[in-house]
Amino acid sequence: MTGASATFRVALVGCGRISANHVQALAKVDGLDLVAVCDVDAGRAEATGRAAGVRWFTDYPQMLAEAPCEVVVVATPSGLHPEHGILAARAGKHVVVEKPMAISLAAADALVAACDAAAVQLFVVKQNRLNATIQLLRRAVEKGRFGRLYLANATVRWTRPQEYYDQAPWRGTWALDGGAFLNQASHYVDLLQWMCGPVESVVAKTATLARRIQAEDTGAALVRFRSGALGVMEVTMLTYPKNLEGSFTLMGERGTVRIGGTAVNRIEHWEFADYDDDDRLVEAANTSPPSVYGFGHEPYYRNVLRSLRGEVAAGTDGREGRKSLELVCGIYEAARSGRDVSFPLPIEG
């Protein structure tokens, strides 16, 4: 089904922390209609379904069989994303999967292959790319305003108390979640590779300093890009007493930009050697989102709708979403092995 007026029915699996952003965004996009939700926790499924005015399920295969839909949104624990996405694809549904799309490259590739085989589209949620601040920065990169890129820095100084991990036993586990890099900071890993191009190698250190979890609560990575530029990433979930910063800085031979705030929502420095009309849009791009999730889910779904209608290409399909996952996997391998890890990575489960 394509065409400018085509509408698509959407079912959501996973009614946890991020689901409200999806429900709210879908309600604002004419052409995407939420028709069902599912969660293994009956209370959570019912509450989400009643609030949205749609049918609710506790059995995912049952929802796929009974809910009339063309699109399935997967917002379950990260380690279950491939399994749930593959089931949706095999049922003939287009798949929208939350970040990260998987916790291993082999599982990510299996999801991509399943969607290809079923001839359905796969979208990986990277809503921070749609922040007005990030869109301005991306245009500057594409226009070549920086000249040669020298250094990029991504900093995530947030807080996740022990209670956050205790609320859901899968959080912070290697089987279903990963740590600060793979879960909370994955959008910032994505910004590094999206702005600076293919990765050549990475070295990293990670630590579990204060939270009772399997994966890391703190880490740092140094990335070398094929262009010769360097990237530095610092991540912690231990900032006292609350979220402090989610920032991205990019420096080149003819420009310097820093985007700060708690979620890359405010341009703090914007300077280039040459003028461009985008310079007049800097102040208007700044926002004050109520949470670190920002306002990007609604424009993300508008891209999904236009892609389903055949008007544009997907902003982040499975192959694009895989790039940031590969960088995180490289960071973890570098931290585990204590060596410089080169790209592309070998495919392992």
Separation between Cα atoms, residue 98 and residue 22, nearest integer Å: 10
Q: What is the pTM of this model?
A: 0.95
Separation between Cα atoms, residue 50 and residue 54, nearest integer Å: 6
pLDDT at 220: 98
Asked if residue 278 and residue 193 are part of one domain, the reply reads yes
> Could you tell me the pLDDT band of residue 109, with boundaries at 50, 70 and 90?
very high
Roughly how many angstroms between the first and final C-alpha of the chain, as a whole number? 35
> Could you tell me the pLDDT band of residue 181, with boundaries at 50, 70 and 90?
very high
Spatial contact of 40 and 59, defined as CB atoms under 8 Å apart: no
Asked if residue 137 and residue 83 are part of one domain, the reply reads no
205-254 confidence digits (pLDDT tens): 999 999 999 999 999 999 999 999 999 999 999 999 999 999 999 999 99
Using a pLDDT cut of 90, give the percent of the chain over it: 94
DSSP helix/strand/coil, 207: strand
Which residues are within 8 A (CB) of 117 and not within 5 positions of it... i.e. 6 or more apart?
89
Cα-atom radius of gyration of the chain, to the nearest Å? 20
Position 210 in a domain: yes
Position 3 in a domain: no
The domain boundary residue, chosen from 124, 156, 179: 124
pLDDT at 133: 95
139-173 confidence digits (pLDDT tens): 999 999 999 999 999 999 999 999 999 999 999 99
pLDDT at 19: 96
| Overall number of domains in the chain | 2
CATH number for the domain including 98? 3.40.50.720
pLDDT at 347: 78
Asked if residue 338 and residue 231 are part of one domain, the reply reads yes
255-307 confidence digits (pLDDT tens): 999 999 999 999 999 999 999 999 999 999 998 766 655 567 999 999 999 99
**Enclosing domain of residue 262:** 128-287+325-342
Position 316 in a domain: no
| Mean pLDDT confidence for 316-337 | 98
Position 311 in a domain: no
Kindly report the average pLDDT of the chain as a whole number. 95
The domain boundary residue, chosen from 124, 155, 184: 124
> Could you tell me the pLDDT band of residue 2, with boundaries at 50, 70 and 90?
low
With 0-12 CB in 10 A as exposed, 13-18 as middle and 19+ as buried, what is 117? exposed
Asked whether residue 4 carries a pLDDT value surpassing 60, the answer given is yes
CATH number for the domain including 147? 3.30.360.10
